Amino acid sequence: MDVRVWSIFSGELLSRIALEAGPGVTGADIKKILSDQLGINRFRQVLYSKDGTQILNGEVLNQIEHDVHLLVKGTGHVSCNESQRSQMVEASSANKLQILELLLYEHLDPNTTDAYGRTLLELAAGGDHLDVGNLLLEAGAEAETKSAISTPLLTATRMGNTEFVNLLLQANANPNRCYCVRPGFQKCWTPLICAVRHDVDYDYRHATIVPMLIKAGADVNYSCDSKPP
């Protein structure tokens, strides 16, 4: 099966994708391949057939040769209504990957927050939902967003979610971003302070996180009495 992908604006041939014949190649599959080949975020891609009909994510391409026209949407996101917000929050906190993926394909904002101001990435970090975290980051979620309560990195550290901590550090989350333990409380914790304190109180996972944070540039001399940035 040969899929030719053309720019909808310039008419330029962007990619020729050779696939093994057989059922199951969908619009979503083509978007993932183009994301790898062209570096275009798959959640910004809209695919059309030659006749101008939009190719849906679940639509199966079953012709021997298929011409696809690609429209790349802007980097902006669509604001969620309350129903969509509720679905995105539920999907992120309950590890419902497929539902979240469908919502993100609607170009909904991956930095949406819940009623308490927690971002979707922070909710995923708390539940150690690594695949959800990867999906949100791919869709443009900010690793560094700070809610009224915490940050994704602080949440993952506090919960001892080692792989999620690594994911966020790879996404350039700031290891020195701090938060106040309680609103109005003067003492502020960085992820490193959080990891050290929890290692004493809980289990070995936090001891694994400590060197990860230091390697990423965590300040070992930070004082709890320092003023938060």
Q: How far is CA 78 from CA 103, 110, 116, 122, 229, in A?
A: 11, 10, 21, 20, 30
Its pTM stands at: 0.84
> Same structural domain for residues 105 and 192?
yes
Choose among 205, 180, 172, 206: nearest CA to 192: 206
189-223: pLDDT as tens digits? 889 988 888 755 556 778 899 999 999 999 998 86
Last residue of a domain, one of 12, 46, 72: 72
> Same structural domain for residues 67 and 99?
no
Give the pLDDT mean for 65-71.
88
Which residues, 6+ apart, have CB-to-CB distance to 14 below 8 Å?
Answer: 5, 6, 7, 34, 38, 70
pLDDT at 76: 77
Does pLDDT of 6 surpass 90? yes
Q: Is the Cβ–Cβ distance between 88 and 116 less than 8 Å?
A: no
Q: Domain total for the chain? A: 2
Report the Cα 219 to chain-centroid distance in Å: 26
pLDDT at 182: 57
> Same structural domain for residues 177 and 95?
yes
pLDDT at 224: 63
155-184: pLDDT as tens digits? 999 999 999 999 999 999 999 988 765 555
pLDDT at 170: 97
Which structural domain, as residue segments, surrounds residue 144?
82-215
> Same structural domain for residues 126 and 61?
no
Q: Is the Cβ–Cβ distance between 29 and 55 less than 8 Å?
A: no
195's tokens: 């990891």
- Is residue 218 helix, strand or coil? coil
End-to-end CA distance of the chain: 55
Which band of pLDDT confidence, cut at 50, 70 and 90, is reported for residue 228? Answer: very low
> Same structural domain for residues 23 and 86?
no
* Percent of the chain at pLDDT exceeding 90: 63
Torsion of CA 111, 115, 118, 120, to 10 degrees: -40
Does pLDDT of 7 surpass 90? yes
DSSP label at 71? E
pLDDT at 229: 44
Q: Is the Cβ–Cβ distance between 49 and 55 less than 8 Å?
A: yes
Query: Could you give the CA distance from residue 209 to residue 154 in angstroms, rounded to a whole number?
Result: 11
Amino acid at 221: N
Q: Is the Cβ–Cβ distance between 145 and 139 less than 8 Å?
A: no
Would 95 be classed as within a structural domain? yes
Last residue of a domain, one of 72, 95, 123: 72
Q: Helix %, strand %, coil % for the chain, to 5?
A: 40, 15, 45
Would 227 be classed as within a structural domain? no
134-157: pLDDT as tens digits? 999 999 999 987 776 789 999 999
Amino acid at 105: Y
Least-confidence region, from 63-72, 75-84, 183-192: 183-192
